[in-house]
Amino acid sequence: MGSFEVLSAGRVASVCLTACAGALVYLVVKGYHARRTFYRLRQQGMPMPPWNPILGHLLAVPPVMKTLPEDTQQPDAFEALCKAHEKEDMDSIIYLDMWPFADPMIVICSPVLAVQACQEHDLPKPPILHAFFNPLAGGDNLFTMNGPVWKRSRALFNSGFGAGYILEQTSHIVDEAEIYVEILREHARKGDMFSLDDVTCWYTMDIIGTVTLDSRLQSQRQHNPLATAMRRQIRWHVLDNEWNLFIRWNPARPFVQWYNNRQMDRYVSGELDKRYAEWKEDENTASSRSVIHLALAGYMAQQKTLPRPPRLDPAFKAWAIVQIRLFLFAGHDSTSSTICYCFHLLQSHPAALARLRAEHDAVFGTDVATTSQKLRANPALANQLPYTTAVIKETLRLFPPASAMRGGLPGVSLVDAQGNAYPTEGTNIWILHSAVQRNPKYWGGGDPAAFHPERWLVGPGDPLYPPRGGWRPFEHGARNCLGQTLAMLDIKITLALTVRELDVRSVYDEWDALNGGGAKAAGKGKVKTVNGERAYQTQVGGAHPADGFPCRVRFRV
């Protein structure tokens, strides 16, 4: 027995040593290929920071990070790198060698090159996206898929996000918006400071819950296990810019994420079973084009046998749960952030706020209390708000909630207006929407970081007129955002029901005084603004305003 134990221990040690040696060889070989790739790119004159054959561009990051807040979103750091190291005779693009933290990367801040990557070449989504989306969606999803699998899934859900059908959801959106407005009124009566981002996330979660599951989550007022698990999963999600090892390697994280996954999967599974039972009894109940009904419609269309199977196929359920979770995440996360930034920019620009209020008076009448009723009776009123639409688009230009990532391919190069070709093979291509949408080379009319809703109301030839491919918050091409029409409607209805009754104002000075930010942080050498903006974007799932956008709400006098 003793010799057997010694022999077993020896085999285990041998296996461990072999595995370690194999891992080391893999890292060395992959690292060699990464460095060799960049050696060749540098020889070709490709734009990049000073490169070290051992450390690549790792030394280029710390100086940039010192100029930014610790919790800023990654695109701000890479935008700063691009500005510092792009070549004058080339477009806004750099190559970055961040091995072993990332595969070879191209950072794009140019609309011309973004159009080529996402529209002309329609490059695929890279595997790196799985690490971000898997904890939230639970597996391969509409955002990470490629090829025929993606095309079939996209086609299945298209009708649920058509403009006509989304407009029919106006009454459901108004139902949730009325609760949101009442919550803001309660804060106005109390006069307290609260996180606008937090309150708004629950609100948009309830909207997307209705559109996705065809049922009300009611998470604004009470506990809902699905909404709570999703929001908790986002808070526990570790992003690539998390350098604190105590946070990144928190031993509790796998257990919390497992529990959140279980809660979300159980809830959505129950909803699928419920809808399937209704469908089997009466197929006329399947007239809805909610995400859950569209998924079931695709499943039923594939069934060749009658009577219907007593239970849904487990493989189908697993696939459907992942897609539904994706819609729940993407459908609430970016919209909530944009609503917060709309309030922020309108607060900072009284003339724009006055014009917005005047438009709402003209369309809905001066009695604010009747706006909900009028929207329910005539949803098309939401399409008669050109200045409101311009405000939302300009907000999305200045504070886009996400960026785009594509994978390079052999033989595919991006070419700028000067004829410079940038090979993409073996790289991840990161299109920084925030940088593309404020690039002074392409955006005219003065300071591209200034708030000018009027640029969305002028014609070609005007200095403010947007450049082709320059506005990309929902991306363009075949893989544009499926939910963009819903997001725009959500925000228009929200503004229509709030801005004439309530003033929403950030109180960062007050927050900083209580939490050691602002001047106190600056005195300690910490940066708390990005380009002078205190409500800079942080990465919490998507991009959200710093510190949850602390605010106070007052009734309009």
Q: How many CB atoms lie within 10 A of CB 525?
A: 7
Q: Are 407 and 123 in contact (CB under 8 A)?
A: yes
Q: Is residue 63 part of a domain?
A: no
The packing angle between helices 314-348 and 386-398, to 10°, is 100
* Alpha helix ranges (H) inside 237-385: 245-248, 253-281, 291-302, 314-348, 350-364, 371-377
Read off the amino acid at residue 174: V
Q: Is residue 155 part of a domain?
A: no
Note the pLDDT of residue 412.
Answer: 98
Phi, psi torsion values for 448, nearest 5 degrees: -70, -10
Q: Are 322 and 142 in contact (CB under 8 A)?
A: no
Q: Is the dihedral of CA 222, 184, 215, 209 positive or negative?
A: negative
Q: Are 264 and 233 in contact (CB under 8 A)?
A: yes
> 537 forms bridges with which residues in the sheet?
545
Which tens digit of pLDDT belongs to each residue from 475-506? 999 999 999 999 999 999 999 999 999 999 99
Q: Which DSSP symbol is given to 120?
A: I
Q: Is residue 66 part of a domain?
A: no
Note the pLDDT of residue 439.
Answer: 97
Q: Is residue 70 part of a domain?
A: no
Q: Is residue 21 part of a domain?
A: no
Q: How far apart are CA 203 and CA 198, in angstroms?
A: 9
Domain at 422, CATH number: 1.10.630.10
Q: How many CB atoms lie within 10 A of CB 128?
A: 16
Q: Is residue 98 part of a domain?
A: yes
Q: Are 157 and 338 in contact (CB under 8 A)?
A: no
Q: How far apart are CA 344 and CA 23, in angstroms?
A: 49
Q: Is residue 235 part of a domain?
A: yes
Domain count, the chain: 1
Nearest in space to 414 (alpha carbons), one of 146, 123, 129, 41? 123
Both tokens of 90, joined, read: 């080339």
Note the pLDDT of residue 3.
Answer: 53
pLDDT < 70 positions in the chain: 1-10, 12-13, 15-16, 18-19, 21-27, 239-248, 283-287, 304-307, 518-525
Q: Is residue 107 part of a domain?
A: yes
Q: Is 16 annotated as a binding residue?
A: no
**Cis, bond preceding 473 (omega within 30 deg of 0):** no
pTM: 0.93
Range of the domain at 240: 44-49+76-137+163-555
Q: How far apart are CA 437 and CA 416, in angstroms?
A: 17
Note the pLDDT of residue 101.
Answer: 83
Which tens digit of pLDDT belongs to each residue from 43-88? 999 999 999 999 999 999 899 989 999 899 989 999 999 999 999 9
